[in-house]
């Protein structure tokens, strides 16, 4: 957890004259906000905050609005748990998609990576994470049961496991496959063209397309 000073407690805030004259003022809050992002240290956070300060006002406000929008306007699709502005996401609503094929991924960003790679015409199911007992994530924290229901409701011919190829991702895929056991559906997995441990989102376009084309029985 990021260190969070109690409101009004300015002693624990980093004092940096370059970051703001009024310790805890708007610029400090922006620096703190950036510094909480993954991979952003305090120096980078300061650089980004100062960049925002110099942006044209309209551009800066559009940025703030985009942050508000992703938190307030997006919600999980009631079918596949992708994010969208309506009850069913744009992919689920698209009549051109092949409803007989589901690709199971951990996160929305994995879905986006596959969409960007192109070539996949089926639908998705976003698990909303992966099994991680050490972090308290068990099967009940994931959207596995809604997936089972989707398959049970019929019409799905193939479920492609697109979980991350690492220990936790494989354990997650196995848990899903066990829950689908006995249902009349073909279960496949993405070809392991990906380096073990490489997240889908880090894979390049061609690798993802190859992984999809070369999928094999689970
Ligand atoms: Zn959806």
Alpha carbon distance 18, 27 (integer Å) = 10
Domain residue limits, the chain: 26-72, 95-217
CA of 92 to the centre of ligand 1 (A): 4
CA of 76 to the centre of ligand 1 (A): 8
- Name 99's Cβ contacts closer than 8 Å, sequence gap at least 6: 122, 123, 155, 156
Place of tokens 């703001």: 20
pLDDT at position 195 is 53
Alpha carbon distance 154, 128 (integer Å) = 22
Give per-residue pLDDT as tens, 51-85.
999 999 999 999 999 999 989 999 999 999 999 99
The secondary structure element, H or E, covering residue 32 is helix 26-35
pLDDT at position 7 is 45
Average of per-residue pLDDT across 116-141? 91
Q: Which ranges in 121-215 belong to alpha helices (H)? A: 144-152, 167-180, 205-213
pLDDT at 145 over 90: yes
Range in 101-105, 143-147, 168-172, 204-208 with the lowest mean pLDDT: 204-208
* CATH fit for domain 95-217, picks 3.40.50.720, 3.20.190.10, 2.60.40.10, 3.40.1360.10: 3.40.1360.10
- Name 40's Cβ contacts closer than 8 Å, sequence gap at least 6: 34, 48
CA of 78 to the centre of ligand 1 (A): 7
Average of per-residue pLDDT across 94-110? 95
CATH superfamily of this structure's domain 26-72: RecR Domain 1 (1.10.8.420)
Share of the chain above pLDDT 70, in %: 84
pLDDT at 196 over 70: no
């Amino acid at each position: 957890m990021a260190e969070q000073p109690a409101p009004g407690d300015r002693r624990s805030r980093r004092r940096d004259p370059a970051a703001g004259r009024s310790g805890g003022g708007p610029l400090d809050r922006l620096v703190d906000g950036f510094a909480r992002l993954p991979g952003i240290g305090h120096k980078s956070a300061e650089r980004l905050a100062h960049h925002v300060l110099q942006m044209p006002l309209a551009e800066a406000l559009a940025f703030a609005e985009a942050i508000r929008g992703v938190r307030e306007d997006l919600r999980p699709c009631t079918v596949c748990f992708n994010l969208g502005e309506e009850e069913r996401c744009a992919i689920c609503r698209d009549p051109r998609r092949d409803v007989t094929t589901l690709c199971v991924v951990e996160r929305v960003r994995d879905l986006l990576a596959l969409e960007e790679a192109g070539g996949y015409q089926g639908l998705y199911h976003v698990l909303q994470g992966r099994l991680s007992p050490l972090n308290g994530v068990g099967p009940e924290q994931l959207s596995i049961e809604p997936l089972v229901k989707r398959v049970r409701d019929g019409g799905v011919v193939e479920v492609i496991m697109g979980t991350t190829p690492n220990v936790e991702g494989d354990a997650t895929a196995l848990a899903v496959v066990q829950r689908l056991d006995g249902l009349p559906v073909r279960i496949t997995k993405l070809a392991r063209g990906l380096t073990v441990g490489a997240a889908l989102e880090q894979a390049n376009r061609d690798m993802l397309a190859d992984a999809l084309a070369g999928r094999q029985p689970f």
